[in-house]
Amino acid sequence: MVEEAVTTLRAELDLFGRAEEGFALLEVFLEVARPRLGPVVLDPVGLRLPEEMTDDRAVVQKLIDEIDQEPRGAARVPERGFDMDDEQARWDYVRLAYSSSQATVWSRRHRTTYFEASGQRRATYWLPDSLKTDYFAALSSRGWAIPPDWLTAVAKRPKPWWKRGGR
């Protein structure tokens, strides 16, 4: 089976005119990709509002404060999952992903990552061609502008499994 080509799209909040554009793009992505998604998780320790966030600061800070009050388990790597079938959980995840030191959206069918935000500064999408096509169509149908560098990004075929590993 030939794997689809994958396009890498940078999605740091400072690349958008307003942080809320980045949130809206992630929210649409989660809606479109929902049937393909596996775990949607983030590290709840040390959540901080991004400086770029303008709208919803008080609401998101309250959510962060509530999470900070929750008891911590004994697990070495804290991880909090979000149910993407729940509209409120999707909204929470979208705002908290960029507030977290690590947030990840995994594929259900493939062992791959679709989205990752890390260190409250970096964010990236890795989209197979079919998902990118669906995602861009959904953005266009909602009247959202697709970032110009996303439109010109070149898809690459994944390396065969025997060439992966960097050795």
Report the predicted TM-score, pTM, of the whole model to 2 decimal places.
0.86
Q: According to the model, what pLDDT value does residue 50 have?
A: 84
pLDDT digits (tens, 9 = 90+) for 42-71: 998 888 888 887 778 889 899 999 988 877
pLDDT for residue 167: 44
What do you get for the CA distance between the two ends of the chain, in Å?
A: 24
In tens digits, the chain (167 residues) has pLDDT values of 457 889 999 999 889 888 889 999 999 999 999 999 988 999 988 888 888 877 788 898 999 999 888 777 666 567 888 999 999 999 999 989 999 999 999 887 767 889 999 987 789 999 999 999 999 999 999 998 899 999 999 999 866 555 555 54
Q: Where are the domains of the chain?
A: 6-163
Contacts 24+ apart (CB under 8 A), 117-125: 117/11, 117/42, 120/48, 120/50, 121/12, 122/12, 123/10, 123/11, 123/12, 123/13, 123/22, 123/97, 123/98, 124/8, 124/9, 124/10, 124/11, 125/7, 125/8, 125/9, 125/11, 125/29
Give the per-residue pLDDT at 73. Answer: 67
